[in-house]
């Protein structure tokens, strides 16, 4: 329920009202030109169609009729062929904002973009419709096709929703920086948004309590660790890197309060790590390389709360240097940076192999970005706007399934699989809420009665909505081995400071390949590439070629950039092509198709068996996730009445998902809490506003009670004699 100021609340309690509206198109107030309007909102993923009494919309929709500015008609001003100076105001894609309230105070009702417009020359009016933030999610859905290396969950439906929102510029945590080569939100999964998953250990689960922003992993008694392959394997000597993460130190787990970010560089058997670690209870930092660690004490980081930590690594030849960044409560001005100067020389010619997080605290938004200069204080603390709120995890997944369609379509698929709700609210904030909200009602936020607020009401009940035998399919994925997928057929050449782009076509159902590891002599397993000074193999070279690996649907693209003045070749020691790409395969016969069946025996006895087969979804991959869905659907085992066409005294505070108490002492004789699952609001230029709700009751009228009735049997008693007359043997 939306909050309102005391004057509006007082006005809502009065019988006599003076309604007010506000409509803006393209940021311009056009309220005076609106002759009629309507806003429709409804859930369409909270229950499967067979269990619904109504079918909701996929997005909130605003409809307007414009009449013009008094000098020119709306058709003259806003038709597709009108001058751009005026027609731009209502073009498809233009912003649309609408609100209504009382006594000049309008609460937000809709925020979105224009979908279509129709100019009528005969009447001079223009009718337009607009959809909410779902229109921002019409780009092709892009998710990594990743699979666990050891059959432990690596992601979830929540993570996938968060990733699709982030791609559309809707954020729940600080967004990736420009030139980001690794970004892992950790919002319900270890799969990175940018980069590639490698391994993880000791993650006990994900929580929304005591986290910096949204949802984060927590340790299972020991520090958890996660390794990722960056999208771009930079070189040493090479470009500067900035590694950072956000965390909350409020909760002090048994796993400890240390957070460490490691950049692991490798040149064949020569390795080195540049790393920094902060221990928030010991108030100290450890920064440096394998051979040169420095310890800093009395940092001032013991105050509990949200922290942002980072390290800027630059390289002069093979000599690294570091600036440490801290921002959080307890520091003077909430900020500190420390120049740690240079460290011991790293192996000449190294490649960035992987990034690793080791932590006892819950971290989010781990990222590594390429920078041309050291961040300033303003750059260290990014300016961003939160645009979404998520929920607890329902479905963890071993393998992220391939997706097709728009981001909004995939989000809807996930929501339907989990029986969750996905919608943009009146302020434009996206809210993903799992079905737990409908099984734990809580307190009503509003009471509507036939004595004051209710103008009309219809109550319906249908046996078709009873489902007391539930089958929920799920799939168990088992990871297999890594095998070579592509082997280049040509020894390729990269000129001095040149670039080579190679594209490989995948089946859309294939899992992602990690970026190739550079080697010179020992041949590693997995994806790999060797650079040589001659096409015959020559001397192997490290630290010369930067590679960027990207997967988009069925295409894998690898970009090699030569950072030296040498001409280099992709050749093995024997002069054959050195580029090989491998991918993880599922185990034989994986996934295993299973199904969970759940019963409500009481309902079966009262109403007879009524089965519902849930639609199979690749997002349900565990028996636990299937059981959560089945338990929710069984809550409808006894018919829950639907209160349709509940016309109430209009209240702009009411939102989808609100729990309201409905009391009708005049007609249907009921008193029950009910969920708001649909809202239709309309008005015109006379100030008249109608609001009609669709509600789903949370309590049943109760099971059938014998009242002395003697129901007729399903088989006519005369059927026995009729069958006997037809020569059919009967008992």
pLDDT tens by residue, 503-528: 998 887 778 888 999 999 889 888 99
Closest by CA to 509, choosing from 398, 586, 621, is 586
DSSP string across 197-238: EEEEE-EEEEESSS-SSS-EEEESSS-EEEEEE-SEE-EESS
Burial label, 57 (beta-carbon count in 10 A; 0-12, 13-18, 19+): middle
pLDDT tens across 276-303, in order?
999 999 999 999 998 899 999 999 999 9
Q: Give me the pLDDT at residue 646, please.
A: 85
% residues pLDDT > 90 (the chain): 56
Has residue 451 got a pLDDT over 70? no
Task: Determine the Cα–Cα distance for residues 663 and 672; give it in Å rounded to an integer.
Answer: 7
What pLDDT score was predicted for residue 452? 66
Give the dihedral sign, CA 586/592/593/596: negative
Distance CA 363, CA 404 (A): 31
Q: How confident is the model at residue 52 (pLDDT cuts 50, 70, 90)?
A: low
Q: Tell whether the model's pLDDT for residue 57 goes beyond 60.
A: no
Token pair for residue 89? 């105001």
Residue 636 is predicted with a pLDDT of: 67
> In angstroms, rounded to a whole number, what is the distance separating the alpha carbons of residues 335 and 327?
4
Distances (CA, A) of 505 to 100, 528, 578: 53, 18, 19
CA distance 153 to 189: 8
Q: Is the model's pLDDT at 668 over the cut of 60?
A: yes
User: Taking 60 as the threshold, does the pLDDT of residue 486 lie above it?
Assistant: yes
How many CB atoms are located within 10 Å of the residue 541 CB? 19
Give the closest residue to 130 by CA, choosing from 143, 116, 114: 114
Does position 205 have pLDDT exceeding 60, yes or no?
yes
Beta carbons of 160 and 402 less than 8 angstroms apart: no
In Å, what is the CA distance from 605 to each residue of 128, 322, 468, 602, 689? Answer: 52, 71, 10, 5, 46
pLDDT digits (tens, 9 = 90+) for 215-230: 999 998 899 999 999 9
Instruction: Express as a percent the part of the chain with pLDDT over 70.
Output: 97
Asked if residue 640 has pLDDT above 70, the reply is yes
pLDDT tens by residue, 403-448: 889 999 999 999 989 988 888 999 999 999 888 877 777 788 888 7
pLDDT of residue 471: 94
Of 66-80, 93-107, 112-126, 366-380, the poorest mean pLDDT is in 93-107
Distance of CA 587 to the CA centre of its chain: 28
Q: Is the pLDDT of residue 536 over 50?
A: yes
For position 649, what pLDDT does the model report?
83
Question: Is the pTM value of this prediction over 0.85?
Answer: yes
Q: What is the pLDDT of residues 148-170, one digit of tens each?
A: 888 789 999 999 999 999 999 99
8 Å CB contact between 187 and 365:
no
pLDDT at position 49 over 70? no
What are the tens digits of pLDDT across the range 219-276? Answer: 988 999 999 999 999 998 889 999 999 999 998 888 899 999 999 999 888 888 999 9
Output the CA–CA distances (angstroms, integers) from residue 627 to 298, 372, 455, 554, 630, in the order listed: 50, 51, 41, 34, 5
Is the pLDDT reported for residue 606 higher than 90? Answer: no
150 or 184, higher pLDDT: 184
- The whole-number pLDDT of residue 55 equals 46
Residue 420: the pLDDT is 87
At residue 716, the pLDDT reads 85
Pairwise pLDDT comparison (711 vs 176), residue with the higher score: 176
Using alpha carbons, list the distances in angstroms from residue 385 to 171, 173, 180, 412, 428: 7, 9, 19, 24, 12
What pLDDT was estimated at residue 6?
77
Q: What's the CA gap between 340 and 27, in Å, rounded?
A: 49
Please, which residues have CB within 8 angstroms of residue 707's CB and are 6 or more apart in sequence?
none
- Collapsed DSSP state (helix, strand, coil) of residue 425: coil
Q: How confident is the model at residue 483 (pLDDT cuts 50, 70, 90)?
A: confident
Residue-wise pLDDT for 384-398, tens only, equals: 999 999 999 988 999
Alpha helices in 346-422 (DSSP H): 377-380, 407-418
pLDDT digits (tens, 9 = 90+) for 553-600: 788 899 999 999 999 999 999 999 999 998 887 888 888 899 999 998
* Per-residue confidence (pLDDT) for residue 358, from 0 to 100: 97
In the DSSP assignment, the letter for residue 577 is B
Q: Which two tokens stand for residue 297?
A: 């004490």
């Amino acid at each position: 329920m939306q909050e309102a100021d005391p004057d509006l609340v007082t006005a809502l309690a009065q019988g006599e009202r003076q309604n007010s509206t506000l409509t803006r198109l393209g940021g311009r107030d056009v309220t005076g030109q609106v002759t009629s309007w309507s806003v429709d909102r409804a859930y369409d993923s909270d229950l499967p169609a067979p269990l619904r009494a109504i079918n909701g919309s996929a997005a909130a929709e605003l409809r307007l009729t414009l009449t013009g500015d008094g000098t020119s008609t709306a058709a003259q001003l806003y038709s597709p062929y009108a001058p751009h100076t005026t027609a731009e105001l209502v073009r498809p894609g233009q912003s649309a904002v609408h609100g209504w309230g009382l006594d000049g105070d309008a609460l937000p009702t809709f925020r979105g973009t224009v979908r279509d417009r129709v100019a009528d020359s005969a009447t001079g009016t223009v009718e337009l419709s607009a959809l909410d933030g779902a229109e921002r999610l019409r780009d092709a859905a892009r998710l990594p096709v990743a699979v666990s290396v050891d059959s432990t969950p690596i992601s979830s439906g929540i993570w996938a929703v968060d990733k699709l929102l982030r791609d559309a510029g809707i954020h729940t945590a600080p967004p990736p920086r420009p030139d980001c080569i690794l970004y892992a939100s950790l919002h319900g999964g270890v799969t990175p948004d940018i980069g590639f998953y490698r391994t993880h250990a000791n993650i006990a689960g994900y929580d929304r309590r005591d986290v910096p922003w949204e949802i984060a992993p927590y340790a299972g008694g020991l520090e958890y660790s996660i390794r990722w392959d960056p999208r771009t394997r930079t070189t040493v000597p090479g470009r500067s890197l900035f590694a950072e993460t956000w965390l909350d130190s409020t909760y002090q787990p048994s796993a400890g309060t240390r957070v460490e970010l490691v950049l692991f560089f490798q040149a064949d058997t020569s390795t080195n790590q540049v790393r920094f670690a902060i221990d928030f209870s010991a108030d100290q930092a450890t920064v440096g390389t394998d051979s040169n660690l420095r310890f800093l004490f009395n940092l001032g980081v013991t105050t509990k709360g949200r922290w942002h930590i980072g390290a800027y690594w630059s390289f002069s030849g093979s000599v690294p240097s570091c600036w440490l960044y801290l921002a959080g409560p307890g520091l003077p001005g909430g900020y500190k940076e420390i120049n740690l100067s240079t460290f011991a020389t790293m192996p000449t010619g190294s490649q960035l192999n992987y990034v690793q997080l080791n932590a006892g605290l819950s971290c989010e938004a781990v990222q590594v970005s390429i920078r041309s200069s050291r961040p300033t204080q303003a750059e260290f603390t990014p300016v961003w706007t939160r645009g979404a709120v998520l929920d607890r995890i329902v479905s963890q997944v071993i393998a992220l399934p391939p997706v097709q369609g728009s981001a909004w379509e995939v989000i809807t698929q996930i929501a339907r699989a989990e029986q969750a709700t996905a919608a943009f609210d009146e302020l434009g904030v996206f809210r993903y809420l799992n079905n737990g909200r409908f099984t734990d009602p809580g307190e009503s936020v509003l009471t509507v009665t036939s004595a004051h607020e209710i103008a009309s009401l219809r109550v319906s009940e249908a046996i078709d909505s009873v489902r007391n035998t539930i089958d929920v399919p799920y799939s168990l994925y088992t990871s297999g081995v890594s095998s070579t997928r592509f082997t280049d057929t040509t020894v390729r050449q990269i000129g001095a400071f040149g670039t080579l782009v190679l594209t490989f076509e995948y089946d859309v159902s294939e899992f992602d390949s990690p970026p190739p590891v550079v080697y010179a002599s020992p041949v590693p397993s997995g994806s790999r590439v060797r650079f040589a000074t001659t096409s015959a193999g020559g001397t192997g070279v490290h630290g010369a070629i930067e590679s960027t690996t990207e997967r988009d649907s069925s295409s894998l693209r690898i970009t090699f950039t030569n950072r030296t003045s040498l001409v280099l070749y992709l050749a093995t020691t024997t002069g054959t092509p050195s580029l090989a790409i491998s991918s993880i395969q599922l185990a034989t016969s994986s996934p295993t198709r299973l199904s969970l069946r759940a019963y409500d025996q009481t309902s079966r006895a009262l109403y007879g068996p009524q089965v519902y087969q849930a639609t199979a979804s690749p997002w349900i991959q565990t028996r636990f996730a299937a059981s959560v869905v089945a338990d929710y659907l069984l809550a409808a085992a006894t018919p829950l009445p639907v209160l349709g066409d509940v016309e109430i005294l209009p209240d702009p505070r009411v939102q989808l998902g609100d729990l309201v108490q409905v009391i009708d002492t005049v007609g249907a004789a009921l008193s029950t809490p009910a969920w708001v699952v649909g809202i239709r609001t309309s008005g015109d230029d006379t100030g008249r506003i109608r609001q009609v709700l669709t509600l789903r009751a949370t309590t049943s009228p109760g099971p059938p009670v014998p009242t002395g009735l003697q129901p007729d049997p399903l088989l006519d008693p005369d059927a026995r004699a009729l069958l006997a007359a037809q020569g059919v043997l009967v008992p």
